[in-house]
Structure 1
């Protein structure tokens, strides 16, 4: 999946292969800085990998057009498909680190995959930048030194936001949990249980499902009998769609508040007419007034990708926005480090002061105590309108 081209050719490459600009001969001779991405590029969550690729690519285009990093070295993106499989994610990470010599590794949507990669990057002293997977222990992993950073949601914070939203928007006092049966689901079980207790409400119950489960009716029926007045969903697009189909089949019109996994795949297509009933979290929306960075990024997306005709076509927006800001912050870390050596880059991340980003203005985004650049104030609630993801009104 790695191709080499001249710098002039690289300008018109498809997303995610190699990006650059025609500059002086000395720059052309410089070794590129390789940036790795391990993400779902196929399967039910392929939209997530595509969104991340586009966000990284737009940022790399901008950085390379300004002369790259470290005095003229171009950034080159090399991707590997993890197929949403932790073992394949580990193999891809080792290949990118050991064979391709990437200076930094970006992760995808699946928390189990990112959690499997965490020990590899910490042992290899190669920075890892999470841009989607939200499991709390991706960054809070106990390693010292810790090479994992993130520009994404964090489950422990998202869970507070989901409980608060369910209470204020739908008057929830007894929500029921529908959680994927893996490490991501476990991360949210802990966070949602604590958030409900802090809010002074009681959970109706907790039900789990596997990604390939085709019928969620039994779990939902148990929650209904337990008096659940809202469903809080944590899962990716395909099982999330099965939840909505089961609700529709049983004519149970309970409100559904969801984590963002449903936005990384073909949820509207798979869920059908009830897809728009789900309110879910994102970190950014391209709808509404945009700051200067937002205007620039949206214009670049429309210019580079023919299918993007406006804000509603930037799907999933969370993958694009998180990846864009994460790549820009990574370039700043390289500049601060004056090097692509892992330990120096790690210190470079910690040395970043301010950056006017797409999602927000970052001030000391990373510290020794906190490797997560976003917090609960950086989330927005959205819903599907057809294939488009739009902010919830009212």
Structure 2
């Protein structure tokens, strides 16, 4: 009996010391420009959390898997993490289609999922569910942050270019709707929708130029954006035309263009080099010390995602998915760019967007004349959200 008691005591102690295992799923091979800094961000947060004693008396352990940018693989590795690795919750996701697949998995398996990056509106509206929350601003929120500036241009003839999948399609739908509401006489004279990662930049650029638009709305990113910018510069597409562009001010996509970066585009992004708050400077200094590099937007997202999970676990007092989902409702989290709240009505965080113009300084693209738009001001009215979102 003494021996049995000793074994049970040892087992209980070992269980108390075992870490909280968290599954992370992302498209690291397919989207390295954003996701390598993103991984750095959550790794830095993980180190800080564990150095501070962990959460609920336990260290956190993150087990990461690559989904190859494929929704089917996303679900497969999610099941592997839950069934084989025994993780208590999931976070991550980059592309909108993989994010939707993971949200559906979370609903079916009744496991908590924090979507760090996927931008599709469906994640918190039509396909929203009890177990899924989202950190990044949605496509609607990012478009809404840009439309006010677009309407001020008073340009009538608009051309549009976007990647032909969920994120691009919803971005364009929101832009058309919101700009029409702000400027009823607007016309959309050309639309180009190349497959993600497979843009024929010459053909796209020529088609937009042939339409002779007054302004262009662009939702391309990553390698597609670089090809479009270089071809547009070569063919003079942007000369004398305003361009309003999603994501282009993010260092992940602006930095590779170097001196070829577009000038005077209206963009959303992350001007890390010009933010002077104490909290942000502390974040940048810690990031530089750890990685000998500067943060990108992915770094901010990865860091804030794991800090959100730590805050949610602490509030829930448990790794139980139902308790964690309840704890995230109204959860407030301090991030390097200010405090955010995870809204009860749609599970969307109030993380906002930096909106400004692009420029080139010392041979490198930057954001200038930017402002931070609070995500709480970019939401649909609650009554509209209720119509769009199914009951949990």
TM above 0.5, yes or no, is yes
Cα distance in 1, alignment partners of residues 357 and 82 from structure 2:
36
Q: C-alpha root-mean-square deviation of aligned residues, in Å?
A: 2.7
Instruction: Report the TM-score, using the length of structure 2 for normalisation.
Output: 0.81
Cα distance in 2, alignment partners of residues 305 and 28 from structure 1:
33
Partner of 2:28: 41
1:358 aligns with 2:345: no
Cα distance in 2, alignment partners of residues 359 and 105 from structure 1:
24
Cα distance in 2, alignment partners of residues 303 and 183 from structure 1:
37
Q: 1:89 to 1:172 in 2, by over 3 A?
A: farther
The C-alpha deviation readout for 1:84-120, integer Å capped at 9, x for no partner, is 2222222222222222222222223311211222110
Q: 1:357 to 1:213 in 2, by over 3 A?
A: closer
Partner of 2:8: none
The C-alpha deviation readout for 1:187-228, integer Å capped at 9, x for no partner, is 112211111111113323322001243423333333333332
Q: How does 1:74-153 map to 2 (within 5 A)?
A: 74-143=59-128, 145-153=129-137
1:231 aligns with 2:216: yes
The C-alpha deviation readout for 1:347-386, integer Å capped at 9, x for no partner, is 111152x433222223xx22331211126x5433364757
Give the structure, 1 or 2, with the largest relative contact order (CA under 8 Å, sep 6 or more). 2
Deviation at 1:273, TM superposition (A): 4.5
Conserved 8 A contact 1:240-1:262: no
Cα distance in 1, alignment partners of residues 172 and 18 from structure 2:
46
Partner of 1:163: 147
Partner of 2:4: none
Q: 1:211 to 1:289 in 2, by over 3 A?
A: closer
Conserved 8 A contact 2:259-2:365: no
Q: How does 1:1-394 map to 2 (within 5 A)?
A: 30-43=17-30, 45-70=31-56, 72-143=57-128, 145-168=129-152, 171-200=154-183, 201-253=186-238, 254-260=241-247, 263=250, 268-269=255-256, 273-277=259-263, 278-282=265-269, 284-306=270-292, 308=293, 313-314=294-295, 316=296, 318-352=297-331, 354-362=332-340, 365-374=341-350, 378-381=353-356, 383=358, 385=360, 390-393=366-369
Conserved 8 A contact 2:266-2:355: no
Deviation at 1:181, TM superposition (A): 0.8
Conserved 8 A contact 1:268-1:384: no
Question: Which stretch shows the higher mean deviation, 365-374 or 150-159?
Answer: 365-374
Cα distance in 1, alignment partners of residues 200 and 304 from structure 2:
38
Conserved 8 A contact 1:237-1:263: no
Conserved 8 A contact 1:139-1:371: yes
Cα distance in 2, alignment partners of residues 119 and 389 from structure 1:
38
Unaligned runs of 5+ in 2: 1-12, 371-392
Cα distance in 1, alignment partners of residues 51 and 156 from structure 2:
53
Query: What SS is found at the alignment partner of 1:97?
Result: helix
Partner of 1:19: none
Q: Which has the larger radius of gyration?
A: 2
